[in-house]
Amino acid sequence: MPQISLYVTDAEYNRIREYARRIGKSVSKAVISTVMDNIEDSYSPDFFELFGAVQDDTFTRPEQGNFEDDSLREDFECII
């Protein structure tokens, strides 16, 4: 398993160690989970709580046109 060395000050290490203690993980697991949370493509834990959060009567869907009124499109063959 690959290893990574981090060069931190005593004060930084103490903060990391305290953080790891608070979340109940070893220093290594706390650091890697924090790093991975920040580099993986994912939504913030609070993202889904935003759904429906806008309370504004002017925030409405615009009127939708009829399909029949849409622009005509030409048929064409796609040659791949």
pLDDT tens, 4-38?
999 999 999 999 999 999 999 999 999 999 998 88
The reported pLDDT for the residue numbered 74 is 77
What per-residue string of b and e applies to 50-76 under the rule 16 or more CB within 10 Å gives b? Answer: eeeeeeeeeeeeeeeeeeeeeeeeeee
Q: At what angle do helices 27-39 and 10-23 cross, to 10 degrees?
A: 90
The CATH code of the domain that includes 5 is 1.10.1220
Q: Answer yes or no: is 20 within a domain.
A: yes
Count the domains in the chain: 1
The pTM of this model reads: 0.49
Is residue 60, in this structure, part of any structural domain at all?
no
User: Does a structural domain hold residue 8?
Assistant: yes
The pLDDT value recorded for residue 26 is 96
Q: Is residue 78 part of a domain?
A: no
Domain annotation covers residue 17: yes
pLDDT 10s digits, 35-62? 988 887 777 778 888 887 878 888 788 8
